[in-house]
Amino acid sequence: MKNVIIGQYIPGNSFFYRMDPRSKIISLMILMVASFILKDVFQIGVMLLFVFALLIIGKIPVGRILRGLRPLMYLLIFTFFFQILLNKTEPVLYQGTLHFSFLSIIVVILVYFFYRFSKKYVPFKMLYLLLFIISIFVVLINVDNVTAFKTTNLAIYQGGVLMALYITLRLVVIVTLSTILTLSTKPTDLNLGLESILKPLKIIKFNTEELAMIISIALRYIPTLLDEANKIMLAQASRGVDFSEGKLKDKIMQVISLLVPMFIISFKRSDDLANAMEARSFVPGKPRTRLHVLTWKSIDTITIVFSTFVFIASIYMVVS
Amino acid sequence: MKNSKIKDITLIALFPAIMGATSTISIPFGGYAPITLQTLFVFIAGLLLGPKKAFLSIVVYLVMGAMGLPMFSGGSSGLGVLLGATSGFLFFFPIAAFITGLLKNIKIINKNIWLIGPFMFIINILIYMSGAAYLSHYLEVSYLPLLLSFWSYLPGDIIKIIAASYVYKRMRNQITYE
């Protein structure tokens, strides 16, 4: 439990790792705004190629990026199909007829069950889901055109396809950019960078130092709390609580029997920590020196200039 | 007390840490959102910390999740979750904690803590409504059927509400930070 690796950070030595977190956050912001400005599928495609080049230069594993995209996938697939089916901007790309008959519905149900049971053994689940939805359409178009009791026209328009691609690719670009940041920066560095970037917010009485302090304390708490939870579980087990078995009601009571001591211990811990900080004369809001000081190197300036260049280029693409 | 601000800082840091430590406990359920302990801790934060601190602490939780720490259900993290299907639920969590804290400070409710149960039930429905609003906007599905499809989460959430009030009842004699 001691060596819990926290966060998405993976160690490496490409140029992303040598950069200052501040410059990484700023250029991420610039690139995100740039990709929001773009209005066309082809422009977004250029942006996607650019991001892909960044991945290759920075030696960042694509598998981890896909893992970051996973929570978005359902939404992406849904918006993709809704746009294709509902957006009716000319010209027509494809026109066909869906046939609903007893035979074709039975085939659809069979395909569904095949999908349900074979899902476990397929590595790319989302691509498989996409394939499944497409295969349903193929079945409805081709199987049993004779005895259909209901037919519906299906028309796919070019505008719909382009819009669907545009929306999905833009989200993919934005999330990939933010994943590059979190993969190549340690949470503590990110915290420091955020703190110094948000400093101008002091004008509206928002104290960023306190926020950074809270985040770093919370980071430090997580392994401690995991440790404590483990201890409490062992203590309860030695009193005869069985965490692996029992009915639902027993399980709920077991979780509650964990919660109360866990909260009492963690409140005690936070009290101790507050006392310790006070004893070391920590005063919130007073200027402090740091153990790790962020250094701004030439690579950071180059990155900022480069991403500003991308930003200007994207404005130029939209205007012309 | 002179420097209660330090105590506030350590207390606010507590809940994101607990939610992060327990984020791996989640049961995949239905299509959209898995069952997690998040809502339980949102309610407990509101009850134990009071409105302002609870709000801040859940906001810090979201910020930490966006920073790439495994804070969200099943140890997932990143901006992808905050833009994903469940973000309607996530963005309402701070407000839910705030309302819970406000309600707890009302005297009659504070004397008889089980009175807060129905209110927390309403807040829970509000969380569903916020989640459904985002989802229905995103999927372009009509709002009400989607909201009604969340009924299967209710039994679990009622258990969570009871657990939250129970924990508060047991804890409040020992914690006098209010």
A71 interfaces chain B, CB cutoff of 8 Å = yes
Q: Using CB atoms and an 8 Å cut-off, which of residues 60-99 of chain B contact chain A?
A: 60, 63-64, 66-70, 72, 76-81, 83-86
Instruction: Calculate mean pLDDT across residues B24-33.
Output: 63
Task: At A60, list the tokens.
Answer: 């960042």
Counted across chains A and B, CB pairs separated by less than 8 A come out at 171
pLDDT of residue A1: 36
B163 contacts on A by Cβ (under 8 Å): 252, 255-256, 259
Distance from CA of A144 to the nearest CA of B (A): 30
Residues A145 and A138: their CA atoms lie apart, in Å, by 12
Q: What is the mean pLDDT of chain B?
A: 82
| Mean of pLDDT values over B141-168 | 83
Could you tell me if residue A212 is inside a domain? Answer: yes
Half-sphere exposure in the Cβ direction for B163 (13 Å, CA): 25
pLDDT at B55: 93
Mean pLDDT of B77-92: 81
Closest CA to B58 of B19, B113, B114: B19
Report percent pLDDT > 90 for chain B. Answer: 16
> Which residue among B18, B69, B81 sits closest to A71, beta carbon to beta carbon?
B81
Q: What is the pLDDT at residue B176? A: 57
pLDDT value of position B175:
67
Over residues B128-145, mean pLDDT: 81
pLDDT for the residue B142 = 77
- What pLDDT is recorded for position B93? 92
Check CB contact of A218 with chain B, cutoff 8 Å.
Answer: yes
Asked whether residue A249 is domain-assigned, the answer is yes
Q: What is the three-state SS of A84-101? A: HHHCCCCCEEEEEEEEEC
How far does Cα A30 stand from its chain's mean position?
19
Q: Which of A175, A210, A219 is nearest residue B9 as measured by Cβ atoms?
A: A210
Residues of A within 8 A of B20 (CB-CB) are 218, 222
The single-letter DSSP state of residue A205 is: T
Give this complex's ipTM: 0.85
Per-residue pLDDT band at B1 (split at 50, 70, 90): very low
Q: What is the pLDDT of residue A2?
A: 41
A102 assigned to some structural domain: no
Provide the residue type at B47 as one letter. Answer: L
Residue-wise pLDDT tens digits, A174-192? 888 888 888 888 888 888 8
Residue A185 domain-assigned? yes
Chain-centre distance for alpha carbon B98: 10
**HSE of B78, CA atoms in CB hemisphere, 13 A:** 30
pLDDT digits (tens, 9 = 90+) for A306-317: 999 989 988 888
pLDDT digits (tens, 9 = 90+) for B59-83: 999 988 888 777 787 667 777 778 7
Question: What tens digit of pLDDT does each residue of A38-79 get?
Answer: 888 888 888 899 889 988 888 888 888 887 777 777 778 877
pLDDT at A151: 73
pLDDT average, residue stretch A20-32: 89
Q: Name residue B76's beta-bridge partners.
A: B72
- Alpha-carbon distance B6 to nearest alpha carbon in chain A (angstroms): 6
| pLDDT, tens digit, 9 for 90 and up, residues A191-216 | 888 888 888 888 887 778 888 888 88
Mean per-residue pLDDT, A117-141: 78
**Chain B residue with minimum CA distance to A253:** B163
The span from the CA of B44 to the CA of B37, in Å, is: 11
Q: Identify any residues that bridge with A155 across adjacent strands, giving them in sequence order.
A: A95
Which residue among B6, B77, B84 places its CB closest to the CB of A274?
B6
**Is the pLDDT assigned to residue B168 strictly greater than 70?**
yes
Q: Is B48 at the interface with chain A, CB within 8 A?
A: yes
Find the CB nearest B64 among A69, A74, A215. Answer: A215
Helix (H, G, I), strand (E, B) or coil at B169: helix
Considering CB atoms only, which of B18, B32, B174 is closest to A264? B174
Flag whether A234 is in a domain.
Answer: yes
Task: Examine residue A128 and state whether it is found in any structural domain, yes or no.
Answer: no
Q: Is A263 on the interface with B (CB under 8 A)?
A: yes
Domain count, chain A: 1
Q: Which of B9, B61, B160 should be substituted to probe chain A, the one whose Cβ sees the most A Cβ atoms within 10 Å?
A: B9
Separation CA B64–CA B19 (nearest Å): 11
Is A262 part of a structural domain of the chain?
yes
Residue with tokens 């394939």: A131
Q: Who contacts A158 (Cβ-Cβ below 8 Å, separation ≥6)?
A: A89, A90, A91, A92, A93
pTM across the whole model: 0.80
| Higher pLDDT among residues A127 and A110, named by residue | A110
| For residues B116-143, average pLDDT | 84
- Cβ pair A148, A101 in contact under 8 A: yes
Mapping DSSP to helix (H, G, I), strand (E, B) and coil, where does residue B35 land?
Answer: strand
**Burial of A153 from C-beta contacts in 10 A (0-12 / 13-18 / 19+):** exposed
Q: Is the pLDDT of residue A164 over 90?
A: no
Yes or no, beta carbons of A284 and B170 under 8 Å apart: no
What is the distance between the alpha carbons of residues A90 and B88, in angstroms, rounded to a whole number?
A: 34
Q: Please state, in angstroms and rounded to a whole number, the distance separating the CA atoms of residues B25 and A254.
A: 14
- Cα separation, A24 vs B160, in Å, equals 40
The per-residue pLDDT of chain A, averaged, comes to 81
Measured between alpha carbons, how far is residue A298 from residues A104, B22, B39 in Å?
64, 41, 46
pLDDT value at A154 more than 50: yes
B73 to chain A: closest CA residue = A71
- Domain of A49? 15-76+161-319
Would you state the pLDDT for residue A245?
67
Task: Examine residue A121 and state whether it is found in any structural domain, yes or no.
Answer: no
